[in-house]
Amino acid sequence: MRPVYQSCDCYTSHSAQVVGLSAGTLAARLLELPTIELTVNSPPDAPAAPLAPDPLPPGPRGPAPLVFANFLFRPGAFLEGTRDRYGTPFTLRLSSERTVVLTDDPATIKQVFTSDPTKLLAGVGNEVLKPLLGPRSVLTLDDPEHMRQRKLLLPPFHGERMRLYEEVVRTAAERELARWPAGEPFAVQPSMQAITLEVIMRAVFGISERGERFETIAAPLRDALDAMADMRRLFVLQVASSKRNGPLSPWRRFREQLLHPADRVLYDEIAAARSDPARAERDDVLALLLAARDEDGAGLTDAELHDELLTLLLAGHETTATSLSWTLERLARHPQALARLTEEVRAGEGDDYLDAVVKESLRLRPVVPAVARYLTEPTELGGRVLPAGVHIAPSIYLTHRNPDVYEDPDRFFPERFLQRPTGTYDWIPFGGGTRRCLGATFALFEMKIVLEELLRRFDVAPETAPAERIARRAITFSPRDGGRVRVAPVTATAR
């Protein structure tokens, strides 16, 4: 664009006459002035037209309760069979309120984990957990409330603080392993639950002994988890709407009968901690959460603390216990991996192979089958525009079995993770993005310590029985028979 003073040559000559200067002098003066650019503002862009949704991917037909029943009672076979028949992505209509599109494509999963969290709602995606964990759990909130509470919850799980719990994990493992029977097959899952529950109780409340206070808190939590392991109850709860809270609602009865006792205990613990004059000297999670403040200087309310504590206690120990049970179930059926791991643990040769074993177990037997996001508007994901109101769910189970990602994906082969690192969007046992599990690092840390203590004390016998099938327990994929193994104590000189 030309400067405005150069837009008409006759302007310079006429102006020189008016001010009594020669044309040349006036022109020189004008050239010393700053250039002014003239611009014309364009009208604002019209808002983009909403994307036109594509048809949903194919999937099993039939009534939603029948589809969910298949997913509940035969989860692994159902997911793999549906993938083999329809390809991925595929659609599951699980209830009148929940249509889910599952994907095992890492590129699509990256889109899901990195998209605007106000358009893909993870809290709404976890709506089914609200009656269990509460509306203020970090799992059931969406931004900005989710991010506020996530920041407040992060410090207790910081790497340096996590190391303070190493001796807690070892002590809990030693105590429980001392009870193991020698030479007789038994299910390890109850023992793993006892270990991880003791660890989480010490971490959250500072309870170091299994005394009266421990049992007062632990008993209602065990009752709730055991109730959620009832397949018929799970089916009824899924078919019933979790949003309805009338006197005949199965969800309301579940909360009143099984969760209200836990509620009372947790609120008592919160009140006692708030009034504890020595709270500043405590290092447990509850004390740290009571001291935490957000950017506005506000702390967590009692209701928020209740839901977060319940989430830590229920989800924080059950999932790790299940992962440990699956790891032993896998090792017993793969004697070469078992022998190598046992030898390296006892020789103190580092934990590279132990780390690979844990990661391979979490790949092949993830305890949570998928993570879901609810779409608030039509959104393009994986080259397909999905409509508002559906859920997009990266399938952890199927992604970890994707042959385009993992060679021989059904094989238990820990060495694969000595040869390649885990991928951000193809190894996702803890979810991903800003919703990745807060306790992921602690869970891996705890699993490795428990396995070290176990293999130093016991020889695990190889198992020739078929692999245990997957069964639902609450929200987890668990070994149907609890991870049955046989062990023999190791002499002190062999350790």
Mean pLDDT over residues 473-487, rounded? 91
Comparison of pLDDT for 410 and 36, the residue scoring more: 410
pLDDT surpassing 60 at residue 202: yes
Q: 475 vs 40, 132, 276, 366, 368, CA distance in Å? A: 60, 11, 35, 12, 7
DSSP 8-state assignment for residue 244 = -
The string of pLDDT tens digits covering residues 361-403 is 999 999 999 999 999 999 999 999 999 999 999 999 999 999 9
pTM: 0.86
Tokens of 482: 């609890």
Mean pLDDT over residues 153-172, rounded? 83
Predicted confidence at residue 95, as pLDDT, reads: 86
State how far the Cα of 207 lies from the Cα of 213, in Å rounded to an integer. Answer: 8
- Determine the Cα angle at 166 with ends 316 and 281, to 5°: 85
Closest CA to 293 of 282, 303, 301: 301
pLDDT surpassing 90 at residue 163: no
Q: 452 vs 152, 176, 436, CA distance in Å? A: 32, 14, 26
In this structure, are strands 90-95 and 98-103 parallel, antiparallel, or unpaired?
antiparallel
Instruction: Extract long-range pairs of 58-67: CB within 8 Å, 24+ residues apart.
Output: 58/86, 58/90, 58/91, 59/86, 59/90, 59/91, 59/92, 59/93, 60/86, 60/92, 64/93, 64/94, 64/95, 64/96, 65/95, 65/235, 65/239, 67/92, 67/93, 67/94
Compute, in degrees rounded to 10, the torsion defined by CA atoms 110, 116, 117, 121: -80
Q: Which helix (H) or strand (E) holds 19?
A: helix 9-19
Predicted confidence at residue 208, as pLDDT, reads: 75
The string of pLDDT tens digits covering residues 40-71 is 555 566 566 678 888 999 999 999 989 988 99
Domain 64-494 coded CATH 1.10.630.10:
yes
DSSP 8-state assignment for residue 370 = B
State the average pLDDT for the chain.
86
End-to-end CA distance of the chain: 84
Parse the chain into domains and list their residue ranges. Answer: 1-41, 64-494
State how far the Cα of 92 lies from the Cα of 385, in Å rounded to an integer. Answer: 17
Phi and psi, residue 155, nearest 5°: -55, -40
Q: Token match 């019933």: residue?
A: 240
Cβ contacts of 245 within 8 Å, gap of 6 or more: 251, 252
pLDDT surpassing 70 at residue 23: no
Tokens of 345: 């643990």
